[in-house]
């Protein structure tokens, strides 16, 4: 982040993901005075100012102070608001500036069509663990994005976790299905495992502690080990033992096929939502 100290940023939207990024950037050393946040909600603006000391705006116009100094804009609004926001952005941005969208389903073509010619566009798909600095983001660059702009976008998202670049935007539908929606899959497993633990005779407090710490420990092993998930699983599974008995039940329920179908369903839905978010298709 050392070479990013002069970066001037504008966030459009001050919700959870924007808040996570602002916190991550400031923690990484970017001065709060170089971050502006535009959000129509009074409470959101007050929270951001009090928590991080950033400048907040209720709206943006071509006359808004210091917009000419911007390098980049992080677009972090709800998908249904995108069509309203793009004309405002088109009015203030100039060639050489860039926009990074973290809006689920908003295609590069939609963003580029709504902005001035020469404004570079990057699309990102982060996930909710970014809220605690443990996220992962898939990024894809539109036409005309420079190497320096790619580095800036990567540094911003790296402030809240890991970053992967993709060449094909269509791949982001799979990223959405795996890492974007993925935390919910693990939460669902923890939810049902907690319920099963209670049914097996543990108290709710005991069940939660056992499940949550087991999930955290297994995740750390996955993250730190050079071994893949399948190998780690076999190391816990003794022939004829308790783990094998449990996994055999999951196999009978075709767990692998269910997960494959679930991810494919999420991927297909991401494609549908991308089309729906494009005002030119409505």
pLDDT at 64 over 90: no
User: What is the value of pTM for the model shown?
Assistant: 0.89
Whether 109 and 210 share a structural domain: no
For residue 88, name the pLDDT band (cuts at 50, 70, 90): confident
Q: Are strands 55-57 and 35-38 parallel, antiparallel or unpaired?
A: parallel
Mean pLDDT estimate for the chain: 91
Whether 124 and 251 share a structural domain: no
Whether 40 and 162 share a structural domain: yes
**Residue 56: both structure tokens together:** 């907040």
**Residue 103: both structure tokens together:** 């809006």
Query: According to the model, what pLDDT value does residue 67 have?
Result: 64
State CA 157 to chain mean position distance.
9
pLDDT tens sequence across 29-56:
999 999 999 999 999 999 999 999 999 9
Whether 131 and 256 share a structural domain: no
pLDDT tens sequence across 108-139:
999 999 998 899 999 999 999 999 999 999 99
Angstrom distance (rounded) from CA 262 to CA 66: 46
pLDDT at 3 over 70: no
For residues 265-280, average pLDDT = 77
Whether 241 is in a domain gets the answer: yes
Alpha-carbon separation of residue 59 from 92, 134, 208 (angstroms):
12, 31, 44
Closest to 24 (Cα-Cα) out of 168, 126, 155, 127: 155
Whether 119 and 7 share a structural domain: yes
For residues 186-190, average pLDDT = 98
Percent of the chain with pLDDT over 90: 79
Angstrom distance (rounded) from CA 261 to CA 263: 6
Measure the CA angle with vertex 267, ends 84 and 193; round to 5°.
110
Whether 18 and 152 share a structural domain: yes
CATH number at residue 206: 1.10.3730.10
Q: Give me the number of domains the chain comprises.
A: 2
Angstrom distance (rounded) from CA 25 to CA 71: 15
pLDDT tens sequence across 199-232:
999 999 999 999 999 999 999 999 999 999 999 9
Whether 50 and 92 share a structural domain: yes
Indicate the SS3 state at residue 118: coil
Whether 282 is in a domain gets the answer: no
Q: Where are the alpha helices (DSSP H) in the chain?
A: 16-28, 42-52, 82-92, 108-114, 147-158, 171-175, 182-199, 204-224, 229-236, 242-252, 255-276
pLDDT at 282 over 60: no
Whether 7 and 143 share a structural domain: yes
Whether 281 is in a domain gets the answer: no
Closest to 38 (Cα-Cα) out of 3, 66, 5: 66
Whether 216 and 141 share a structural domain: no
Query: According to the model, what pLDDT value does residue 152 have?
Result: 94
CB 23 within 8 A of CB 52: yes
Q: Exposed, middle or buried by CB within 10 Å (0-12, 13-18, 19+), for 281?
A: exposed
pLDDT at 22 over 80: yes
In this structure, of 83-92, 150-159, 176-185, 252-261, the range with the lowest mean pLDDT score is 83-92
197 Cβ contact list (under 8 Å, min separation 6): 206, 207, 210, 211
Sheet holding 161-165, edge to edge: 55-57, 35-38, 9-12, 72-75, 98-101, 120-125, 135-141, 161-165
pLDDT tens sequence across 126-178:
999 999 999 999 999 999 999 999 999 999 999 999 999 999 999 999 999 99
Angstrom distance (rounded) from CA 207 to CA 268: 35
For residue 79, name the pLDDT band (cuts at 50, 70, 90): confident
Angstrom distance (rounded) from CA 267 to CA 147: 29
CB 122 within 8 A of CB 153: yes
Percent of the chain with pLDDT over 70: 93
pLDDT at 63 over 60: no
- Beta bridge partners of residue 123, listed in sequence order: 101, 140
pLDDT at 193 over 50: yes
Whether 19 and 126 share a structural domain: yes
Whether 206 and 151 share a structural domain: no
**Residue 238: both structure tokens together:** 């003794």
Query: According to the model, what pLDDT value does residue 281 have?
Result: 47
């Amino acid at each position: 982040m050392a070479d990013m100290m002069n970066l001037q940023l504008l966030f459009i939207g001050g919700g959870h993901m924007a808040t996570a990024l602002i916190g991550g950037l400031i923690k990484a050393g970017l001065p709060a005075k170089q971050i502006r946040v535009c959000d129509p909600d009074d409470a959101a603006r007050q929270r951001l100012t009090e928590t991080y000391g950033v400048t907040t705006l209720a709206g943006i116009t071509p006359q808004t102070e210091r917009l000419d100094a911007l390098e980049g804009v992080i677009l972090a609004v709800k998908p249904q608001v995108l069509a309203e926001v793009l004309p405002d952005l088109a009015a203030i941005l100039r060639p050489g500036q860039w926009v990074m969208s973290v809006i689920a389903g908003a295609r590069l073509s939609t963003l580029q069509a709504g902005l001035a010619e020469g404004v570079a566009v990057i699309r990102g798909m982060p996930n909710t663990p970014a809220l605690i600095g443990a996220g992962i983001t898939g990024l894809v660059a539109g036409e005309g994005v420079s190497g320096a702009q790619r580095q800036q976008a990567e540094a911003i998202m790296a402030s809240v976790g890991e970053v992967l670049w993709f060449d094909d935007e269509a791949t982001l539908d799979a990223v959405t299905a795996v890492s974007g929606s993925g935390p919910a899959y693990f939460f669902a497993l923890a939810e049902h495992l907690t319920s099963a633990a209670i049914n097996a005779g543990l108290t709710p407090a005991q069940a939660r502690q056992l499940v949550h710490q087991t999930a955290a420990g297994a995740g750390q092993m996955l993250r730190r080990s050079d071994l893949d998930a399948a190998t780690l699983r076999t190391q816990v599974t003794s022939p004829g033992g308790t783990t094998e008995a449990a996994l055999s039940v999951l196999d009978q329920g075709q767990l692998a096929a269910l997960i494959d179908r679930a991810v494919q369903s999420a991927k297909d839905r991401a494609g549908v939502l991308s089309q729906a978010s494009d005002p030119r298709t409505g």
